[in-house]
Chain A
Amino acid sequence: MRAEYLIGEAAANLRRNLLLAIGAVLAVFISLLMTYAALIVGEITRTTTLQWQEGVTIIGYLHEADLADHTAVIEKAESWPEVETATYFSKAQAYEEFKELFANRDRWIELVEPAKIPASVRIVLADTEAHRAVVDQLAKEPTVRKVVSPEDNLNDVLTVSKFLNFGAILLGATLGVSALVLIANTVRMAIYARREEIGIMKLVGASNWFVRTPFLLEGLIEGLLGAGLAVAVGWVGYQWLLGSFDIGVIETDLPTSFLLSRGMLVLLFGGVVGVLGSAVGLRRWLKES
């Protein structure tokens, strides 16, 4: 009877302040959707970056030249102590890779002439600290047209994605705080609506938890509803984006276990926001008891 009573009371509170409750649920929903999306985008960036890197840290694109000139550069690079391997990547190999990367972009492949794709030397460093030095040294070689370091670019990408993640989480947290305040408000309204009843409950000796639990449950339900919605919408939205835009080079296919574990995390967070919100709403009253 107790559990029944407590849940019934919480549900009655929610119904009484339906509009406020909906507002609180929406606030939790929006803030946690941001967070969930940020977690997904962060993971996509991370896995994609890892795949691209594959240990290659420096690429030197070569001018059109004899194979002998190319080989000379490769051998020279290989002789540097900081370099572990220097491999030759011919035009043909480069074209194959391009086709592979853009396997589902037939028009792009049609547009690109194999001859326009340069051959390159790909260097794996023995000593990653020496990265800059090797890049500079390689750039001085006359046969080398341009040195790109995926690590530089990827670091940029990572920085940007970290920044985006951080921003999204910051925004999520800010909205989370407003969600918390909204929940605190609905609970305060519920307490106000029932102040007479609460007064009598305390008069006849209802234990504090018995008085508080319906309000904590109310907040918990609001938090979990918002979080559940966020996970559902985030999940479905992700699947939809995955189906609509197959972006070849980006590793978009995240394992279900990842979506699930982060979804759980978001639910947990929603529950915490809900309970904290009602605790804040109850606080002033708790002190009086």
Chain B
Amino acid sequence: MIEVKGATKIYDKTTVAVRDIDLKINKGDFVFLVGPSGSGKSTLIRLLMREERPTEGEIYVAGKEIGGMPDSKVPFHRRVVGTVFQDFKLLPNKTVFENIAFALEVIGHPRHVVESQVPKVLKLVGLASKGDRYPRQLSGGEQQRVSVARAFVNRPLILLADEPTGNLDPATSVGIMRLLDRINRTGTTVVMATHDHAIVDAMRRRVVELERGRIVRDDSRGVYEGLRTMEVPAVPANGQTDASTSELAADESLPDGTPMSLESDIGMGNA
């Protein structure tokens, strides 16, 4: 689904943000990108959405090399990846419904598709009754749900999230993580940059750690603070959790392969 080969990004000819990255992500994977601030997480996300071109290397997404792709093809790549950011990026003068509908309208979906898909995805994110609200009338967590709904309404193959819980308190973050987990279980590949230890430790998903632009660890069921070698098997170094994440782990209790009712909820498979 995603294959990064020797990708390097240098800003302004001086700042090496990511260096010689090799990374393979399969369809349906859930991957955390972790690492200290400035380690290159956002840059990697931006490379995957082709907001930046790699200075060197190749990036394949859904079979297409996107690094050297002409600008005119980028919109079609963007329809394959949904994106969620720390700051939600909602339009303040549009309602929740309109914000989500906008994503379908501007890629040319007819009105009947908008009218059938938006309510489904609103229901999925638990905002079925708040379609008429404006973003300022919602809590941060609700705004981020709208943002996730907008990213997902087009049924992308991949969801890229850059610190989606960065502006949210721990309890609200749990809600967003449940949502991303549900979306992942529909078969959508999720790549999420975060430095939220609790979330990473509670989810026990694949963890790719960056440090100064290099991958220093890739654990298939990792935690935030793992041993920094790619050879180390997926054994957590320590399993610390706080209240909110134990809630996530216990309350959500999603054993692998547990099917969620997402497919029937939102009519998957006709994207």
Contacts and interface: CB of A to CB of B under 8 A. Distances in A.
Does B associate with A?
A: yes
B77 A205 contact: yes
A115 interface: no
A208 B75 contact: yes
B75 A206 contact: yes
Interface residues of B, number: 23
Interface in B62-78: 71-72, 74-78
Contact of A1 (B72, B110, B151): B110
B75 A202 contact: yes
A200 B75 contact: no
A289 interface: yes
A201 B74 CA distance: 12
Contacts, number: 52
B89 A205 contact: no
**Which secondary structure dominates chain B's binding surface?**
helix
A206 B72 contact: no
A52 B110 CA distance: 66
A207 interface: yes
A202 B150 CA distance: 13
Counting contact residues on chain A (CB < 8 A from B), the size range is 10 to 19
A204 B78 contact: yes
Given A202-B75, A205-B75, A205-B76, A210 B108 contact: yes
14 contacts: A1-B110, A1-B111, A196-B89, A196-B91, A197-B91, A199-B89, A200-B89, A201-B106, A203-B83, A204-B106, A204-B154, A206-B107, A207-B75, A289-B74
Interface of A: 1-2, 5, 196-197, 199-208, 210-211, 289
Given A205-B75, A206-B107, 10 more contacts: A1-B110, A200-B89, A200-B102, A205-B76, A205-B77, A207-B75, A207-B107, A207-B108, A210-B106, A211-B106
Interface string B139-159: 000000000001100100000
Contact of B71 (A5, A205, A289): A289
The 9 closest A-B pairs by CB, nearest first: A205-B78, A206-B106, A205-B79, A204-B103, A205-B75, A207-B75, A201-B106, A205-B107, A289-B71
A138 B26 CA distance: 101
Contact of A203 (B78, B108, B110, B111): B78
B71 A208 contact: yes
Contacts of A204: 78-79, 102-103, 106-107, 150-151, 154
Contact of B105 (A5, A199, A203, A208): A5
A2 B105 CA distance: 9
Contacts of A289: 71, 74
A289 B71 CA distance: 7
A182 B229 CA distance: 59
B91 A200 contact: yes
